[in-house]
Amino acid sequence: MLIVVLLLVASCCKNVIAFRTTTTTIAITSPSYKKIVCFGSASYGNEDCKQTSNRRKLLLSTLYAPFVATSVPYASAANLPQSTGADLSRTGSIDTLIPIIAMKQSLESINSQLMTEKGKLESNECKSILQTLQKNIPRAENDFKRIFDSYSTPVSYKQKFLDQNAFLVYYTRGFDGPGRSNIEDDASSNIIQTRQYGARNDAWSAMDDVLVELEYGQRSSDTDAGELAALVQKVMLAFDYYLSLAPAADVEHANAYLH
């Protein structure tokens, strides 16, 4: 219908009408027309395009507006966790939990040390603490998160389906058939995965703050022991929450193995 109206306008104006949609530029031409009507950026790449009267531009903008207004709204899904290259064949095992416990024990050791310190730390003290932490804690974000992902509940098929079919799920409001629960209702495994993912991210964000502060301190001798201890304790809280999602018996066995 829109094209027919444009053809009629073109016939009346005896011109070639060029207009731009959200994605393409459309031109309606006829060998008998000698002028070109420009609209928006449609003149780009067309040297013969001339500016026309305000009346014609107003007419074209009137025709263009309904086309934009009726565009289909965009729906997007939340991004799934990006792969860190973790081996997902042993998720949930004590073997993959042990490295996480080892990181936490390193943090506990440093926290105990900092509680006895007051004032500024010397550069060599910051360097020593940094070296102690990095025996069990990777400096690179991806390496850090990979340790967690090796233990965490992986993204489920349902979560992948929701992500890949976000448009459909959005417009059907999660309808999954008569008598069936809403497809967006979280299963227990999805809830655990989401919480583990959030705790992992919180742990890294806080851990990075600690490492940055220590790297600064070993150059400047301007790191306050109390402030650093507060940062370390923030990391420990994220670890504590993550480990609270694991079976208590597994956490106990992992701790016993490292002692």
Q: Assign 120 a pLDDT band (cuts: 50, 70, 90).
A: very high
Residue of 190 and 180 predicted with greater confidence = 190
Residue of 192 and 232 predicted with greater confidence = 232
Task: Report the pLDDT value the prediction gives residue 160, as an integer from 0 to 100.
Answer: 57
Which residue carries 């956490």 as its tokens?
A: 251
| Least confident interval from 27-36, 115-124, 155-164, 200-209 | 27-36
Q: Write out pLDDT tens, residues 7-39.
A: 444 454 444 444 444 444 444 444 443 444 444
Task: Report the pLDDT value the prediction gives residue 166, as an integer from 0 to 100.
Answer: 65
Cβ neighbors of 192 (< 8 A, separation 6 or more) are: 153, 245
Average pLDDT on 187-196 reads 79
Q: Write out pLDDT tens, residues 192-205.
A: 988 999 999 999 99
Cα–Cα distance measured from residue 185 to residue 25, given in angstroms and rounded to the nearest whole number: 43
| Cβ atoms 204, 144 nearer than 8 A | yes
Straight-line distance from the first to the last Cα atom of the chain, in angstroms, rounded to the nearest whole number: 77
Cα–Cα distance measured from residue 169 to residue 174, given in angstroms and rounded to the nearest whole number: 5
Cβ neighbors of 235 (< 8 A, separation 6 or more) are: 107, 203, 206, 207, 210
pLDDT of 49 above 70:
no
